[in-house]
């Protein structure tokens, strides 16, 4: 046997079955030419190592989305290679709908077996399924499982080898499904459970929107607590107390030119532009803890099933801006940190949505640490000035996205998604997911950030940066009415945007200058890490367009404020 | 028996799908999620300002964009609520 393909509708617990079968060593891969991700792992069957593929969730083999297209392609290539087995994970509480995919799989030239998952939940809500009878009718093994507790997994493993191909071609699927259902399933009457009532309240606008705000607030509270704790008490001390002195001892004897490139001009990790100092400090000490905290809570909301509800709640509003309800997830991440937000635009189907969403992410608000800095800079003058800054940023981003959605052709597809019942998350799948996401960031983003810093360091040494500061910086600060010494701050902002705001404190700016510089420093450029991620998710050309729009808007609104305030 | 589209149903009302007036793409997407002529559905809620409509089919809840929901025609069931 070569491969086991895990098929199933979304939200049936497929990933949990997958991690039950494969254990730890799991790899995430992008399907060539798409941004659809799937995971691979291995299982030992009778001493043989067999690859297991967690195929993207699909409702049908007649694809309607990119993810479904990928699922079909994976199936086709496995059939061509022969010696593979398909395992469909079925949600026992939704047998009828899930059988639609089963009947399609049965017509394909691949042995099939079924895991009848969420078996406990089905029983709990009064559904009894005669799985022996189902096995007989379909002619393939059917194993009841409760993936979360591990019930039935052993039997499932044992029966993988007895998977069988379907015998007949079925053209009229639904009548056939109706016949099967009437023979194997009994449903007893039941009451609405409290959990379902609570579930419904998170999707009704009157209760759902306030609850969404509350969840959002809790999310950010959690992220700040975790990430800032990690930075202050673990990552930063480790870097400064152990790593840096060690590094200096090793590289100090080098000629000045080399040590400046490797360690930076000063040992201060945020000012030196050194490859081994700034180049590692930014991704590991500053970005990674935020990513960890964000991915942790995002995966939690994802696994309990909240995200589709959020997408539905915000869909109306987002559609006006030319994007889809799905964009709500990257947008909300963007309030915290732009890096995971831009990475999350992968879930969007069209290029158009990706571009508009990216622009919204970058412009609608500063990232969380920068917001905190702006608050401490402006709040002493009163809340109304804070509202001015954040309100201006937000309305500007709305204008930009309206502008972009007129500019870019194409329609925003309508929302159509399943809203799964709330479910208890399975911790080991959750942590595996966080781990996968973090490792893909480390593998893909960190080399880019280091390469970028190398380039900047080189330009600095060649005097190009000073030249840019002189010829670009001067007109900019003139237009904005800022003092000359803020040029340096603007250059630093590229590395770390919250610090750039912090550096404004000692400059002795007036309130007007503070407002203008807060807005300008939020808009003018994304931070280095975001810039590179953006380039990778879109193309270089699209990145330049978005950043140019951002810069022009930042400069013109700043200049305008300088004139009218 | 009144035939109305999904957007005109009230929250908590039940009905039977009698017509899907969209193209093939729409039909196959709906069908894959178990919505076809003869399916019994219940409207769970709808979002403000022509937002998506949420319906219950079997044990699944599905959010459907407003424009799509208008193409799903149902026959209302007499409201015997068995909550």
- The rounded distance, in Å, linking the Cα atoms of A553 and A524 is 8
- Nearest Cα of chain A lies from the Cα of B79 at a distance, in angstroms, of 17
With pLDDT > 90 as the criterion, what percentage of chain B qualifies?
A: 4
Distances (CA, A) of A8 to A51, A92, A357: 18, 12, 29
Q: What per-residue confidence (pLDDT) applies to A89?
A: 95
- Residue of chain A nearest B35, judged by CA positions: A97
Q: How many CA atoms lie within 13 A of A299 on its CB side?
A: 21
Contact B47 A125 (CB under 8 A): no
- The rounded distance, in Å, linking the Cα atoms of B74 and B14 is 9
Which residues span the domain enclosing A342?
A: 205-414+433-564
- Nearest Cα of chain B lies from the Cα of A398 at a distance, in angstroms, of 18
Q: What per-residue confidence (pLDDT) applies to A220?
A: 77
pTM beyond cutoff 0.80? no
CA angle A270, A288, A370 (to 5 degrees): 60
Contact A315 B82 (CB under 8 A): no
- The rounded distance, in Å, linking the Cα atoms of A499 and A491 is 11
CB B22 within 8 A of CB B38: no
Structure-derived torsion over alpha carbons of residues A296, A301, A303, A307, reported in degrees to the nearest 10: -130
CB B27 within 8 A of CB B80: no
CATH number of the domain that residue A32 is part of: 3.40.50.300
Q: Is residue A196 part of a domain?
A: no
B42 touches chain A (CB under 8 A): no
Determine which of A36-45, A438-447, A536-545 has the lowest per-residue pLDDT on average: A438-447
Question: How far is the first Cα of chain A from the last one, in angstroms, to the nearest whole number?
Answer: 73
Chain A residues 404-433 within an 8 A CB cutoff of chain B: 414-421
DSSP-based helix, strand, coil % in chain B, nearest 5: 20, 40, 40
Candidates B33, B45, B63, partner chain A, best to mutate (most A CBs within 10 A): B63
At which of A187, A214, A244 does a domain end? A187
Mean pLDDT computed over every residue of chain A: 83
| Closest CB to A96 among B28, B47, B58 | B58
Task: Tell me how long chain A is.
Answer: 565
- The rounded distance, in Å, linking the Cα atoms of A161 and A45 is 9
- The rounded distance, in Å, linking the Cα atoms of A134 and A151 is 19
Sign of CA pseudo-dihedral A525, A527, A531, A537: negative
pLDDT beyond 60 at B81: no
CATH number of the domain that residue B56 is part of: 2.30.30.90
- Give the model's confidence band at A141: pLDDT under 50 very low, under 70 low, under 90 confident, else very high: very high
How many distinct structural domains can be found in chain A?
2
Q: Which residues of A are less than 8 Å from B20 in CB distance? A: none
- Nearest Cα of chain B lies from the Cα of A417 at a distance, in angstroms, of 5
At which of A152, A187, A222 does a domain end? A187
B37 touches chain A (CB under 8 A): no
Contact B48 A316 (CB under 8 A): yes
Residue A16 or A283, more confident: A16
Q: Is A137 exposed, middle or buried (0-12, 13-18, 19+ CB in 10 A)?
A: middle
Q: What per-residue confidence (pLDDT) applies to A168?
A: 59
With pLDDT > 90 as the criterion, what percentage of chain A qualifies?
A: 10
Same domain, A369 and A404: yes
- Give the model's confidence band at B83: pLDDT under 50 very low, under 70 low, under 90 confident, else very high: very low
| Closest CB to A97 among B11, B54, B60 | B60
- Nearest Cα of chain B lies from the Cα of A174 at a distance, in angstroms, of 9
Does an H or E element contain A43, and which? strand A37-45
Look at residues B60, B66, B26, B31 and name the one whose alpha carbon lies nearest to residue B46: B66
Same domain, A224 and A337: yes
Q: Is residue A419 part of a domain?
A: no
What DSSP letter does each residue of A440-496 carry, written as one string?
HHHHHHHHHHHHHHHHHHHHHHTTHHHHHIIIIIHHHHHHHT--TTHHHHHHHHTT-
- The rounded distance, in Å, linking the Cα atoms of A437 and A449 is 17
CB A128 within 8 A of CB A116: no
At which of A134, A160, A187 does a domain end? A187
- The rounded distance, in Å, linking the Cα atoms of A37 and A264 is 38
A235-243: average pLDDT = 88
Write b or e for each residue in B43-62: b if 16 or more Cβ atoms lie within 10 A of its Cβ, otherwise e: bbbbbeeebbbbbbbbbbbb
Q: Is residue B51 part of a domain?
A: yes
- The rounded distance, in Å, linking the Cα atoms of A117 and B48 is 36
- Give the model's confidence band at A171: pLDDT under 50 very low, under 70 low, under 90 confident, else very high: low
Same domain, A440 and A469: yes
Q: What per-residue confidence (pLDDT) applies to A233?
A: 93
- The rounded distance, in Å, linking the Cα atoms of A98 and A26 is 26
Q: Is residue A195 part of a domain?
A: no
Residue A185, token pair as written in the block? 């399933």
A94 touches chain B (CB under 8 A): yes
Same domain, A163 and A260: no
Same domain, A480 and A351: yes
CB A122 within 8 A of CB A92: yes
A194-199: average pLDDT = 74
Residue B35, token pair as written in the block? 């919505």
Look at residues A341, A268, A232 and name the one whose alpha carbon lies nearest to residue A492: A268
How many distinct structural domains can be found in chain B?
1
Q: How many CB atoms lie within 10 A of CB A29?
A: 12
Distances (CA, A) of B48 to A401, A415, B5, B14: 21, 14, 17, 20
**Which residues lie closer than 8 Å to A378 by C-beta, 6 or more apart?**
A385, A386, A389, A511, A514, A515, A518
Distances (CA, A) of A75 to A33, B12, B32: 17, 40, 18
Q: What per-residue confidence (pLDDT) applies to A485?
A: 74
Same domain, A146 and A226: no
pLDDT beyond 70 at A148: yes
Same domain, A304 and A240: yes
- Give the model's confidence band at A90: pLDDT under 50 very low, under 70 low, under 90 confident, else very high: very high
Residue A343, token pair as written in the block? 């990475």
- The rounded distance, in Å, linking the Cα atoms of A425 and A16 is 9
Which residues span the domain enclosing B26?
A: 3-76
With pLDDT > 70 as the criterion, what percentage of chain A qualifies?
A: 93
Q: Is residue A280 part of a domain?
A: yes
Residue A435, token pair as written in the block? 């781990």
B10 touches chain A (CB under 8 A): no
Q: Is residue A199 part of a domain?
A: no
- Residue of chain A nearest B53, judged by CA positions: A312
Q: Is residue A177 part of a domain?
A: yes
Structure-derived torsion over alpha carbons of residues A210, A216, A220, A226, reported in degrees to the nearest 10: 110
CB A59 within 8 A of CB A9: yes
- The rounded distance, in Å, linking the Cα atoms of A433 and A322 is 30
Q: Is residue B83 part of a domain?
A: no
pLDDT one-digit tens code per residue, A288-339: 887 788 888 888 888 888 888 888 888 888 888 888 888 888 888 888 788 8
Look at residues A114, A148, A119, A141 and name the one whose alpha carbon lies nearest to residue A8: A114
- Residue of chain B nearest A193, judged by CA positions: B83
**Which residues lie closer than 8 Å to A295 by C-beta, 6 or more apart?**
A340, A433, A434, A437, A438
Contact B32 A100 (CB under 8 A): yes
Q: What per-residue confidence (pLDDT) applies to B82?
A: 47
CA angle A51, A52, A58 (to 5 degrees): 145
pLDDT one-digit tens code per residue, A449-506: 677 777 777 777 787 777 877 787 888 888 888 887 777 778 767 766 777 777 777 7
Q: What per-residue confidence (pLDDT) applies to A73?
A: 92
């Amino acid at each position: 046997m070569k491969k086991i393909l895990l098929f199933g509708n979304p939200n049936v617990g497929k990933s949990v079955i997958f991690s039950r079968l494969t254990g730890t060593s799991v790899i995430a891969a992008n399907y060539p030419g798409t941004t659809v991700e799937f995971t691979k792992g291995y299982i030992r069957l009778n001493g043989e190592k067999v690859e297991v593929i967690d195929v993207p969730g699909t409702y049908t083999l007649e694809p309607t989305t990119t993810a479904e297209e990928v699922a079909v392609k994976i199936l086709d290539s496995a059939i061509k290679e022969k010696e593979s087995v398909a395992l469909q994970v079925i949600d026992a509480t939704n047998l009828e709908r899930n059988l639609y995919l089963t009947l399609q799989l049965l017509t394909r030239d691949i042995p099939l077996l079924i895991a009848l998952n969420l078996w406990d939940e089905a029983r709990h809500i009064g559904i009894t399924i005669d799985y022996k009878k189902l096995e007989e009718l379909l002619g393939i093994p059917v194993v009841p499982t409760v993936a979360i507790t591990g019930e039935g997994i052993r039997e499932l493993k044992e029966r993988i080898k007895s998977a069988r191909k379907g015998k007949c071609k079925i053209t009229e699927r639904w009548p056939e499904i109706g016949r099967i259902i009437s023979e194997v399933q009994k449903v007893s009457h039941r009451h609405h459970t409290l959990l379902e009532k609570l579930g419904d309240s998170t999707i009704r606008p009157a209760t759902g929107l306030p609850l969404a705000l509350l969840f959002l607030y809790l999310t950010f509270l959690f992220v700040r607590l975790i990430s800032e704790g990690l930075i202050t008490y673990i990552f930063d001390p480790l870097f400064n107390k152990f790593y840096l002195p060690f590094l200096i001892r090793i590289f100090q004897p080098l000629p000045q030119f080399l040590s400046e490139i490797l360690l930076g001009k000063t040992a201060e990790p945020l000012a030196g532009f050194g490859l081994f100092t700034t180049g590692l400090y930014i991704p590991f000490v500053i970005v990674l803890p935020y990513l960890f905290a964000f991915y942790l809570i995002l995966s939690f909301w994802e696994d309990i099933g909240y995200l589709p509800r959020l997408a539905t709640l915000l869909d109306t509003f987002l559609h006006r801006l030319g994007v889809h309800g799905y964009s709500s997830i990257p947008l909300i991440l963007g309030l915290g940190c732009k890096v995971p937000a831009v990475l999350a635009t992968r879930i969007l189907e069209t290029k158009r949505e990706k571009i508009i969403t990216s622009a919204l992410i970058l412009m609608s608000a500063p990232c969380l640490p920068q917001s905190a800095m702006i608050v401490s800079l402006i709040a002493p003058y009163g809340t109304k000035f804070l509202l001015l800054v954040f309100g201006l940023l937000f309305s500007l981003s709305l204008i930009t996205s309206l502008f972009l959605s007129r500019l870019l052709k194409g329609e925003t597809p309508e929302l159509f998604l399943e809203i799964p019942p709330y479910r208890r998350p399975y911790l080991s799948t959750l942590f595996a997911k966080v781990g996968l996401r973090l490792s893909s960031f480390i593998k893909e983003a960190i080399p880019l950030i280091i390469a970028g810093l190398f380039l900047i360091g080189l330009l600095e040494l060649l005097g190009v940066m000073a030249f840019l500061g002189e010829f670009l910086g001067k007109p900019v600060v003139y237009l904005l009415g800022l003092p000359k010494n803020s040029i340096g701050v603007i250059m630093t902002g590229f590395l770390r945007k919250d610090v750039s705001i912090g550096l404004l404190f000692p400059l002795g700016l007036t309130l007007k200058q503070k407002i203008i510089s807060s807005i300008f420093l939020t808009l003018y450029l994304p931070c280095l890490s975001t810039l590179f991620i953006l380039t990778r998710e879109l193309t270089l050309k699209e990145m330049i367009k978005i950043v140019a729009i951002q810069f022009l808007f930042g400069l013109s609104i700043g200049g305008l404020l300088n004139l009218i305030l | 028996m009144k035939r109305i589209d999904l957007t005109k149903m009230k929250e908590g009302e039940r009905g039977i799908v009698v017509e899907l007036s969209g193209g093939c793409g729409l039909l196959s997407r709906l069908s894959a999620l178990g919505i076809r002529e003869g399916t019994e559905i219940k409207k769970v809620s709808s979002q403000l300002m022509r937002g998506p409509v949420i319906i219950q089919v079997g044990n699944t809840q599905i959010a459907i964009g407003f424009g799509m929901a208008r193409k799903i025609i149902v026959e209302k069931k007499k409201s015997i609520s068995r909550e």
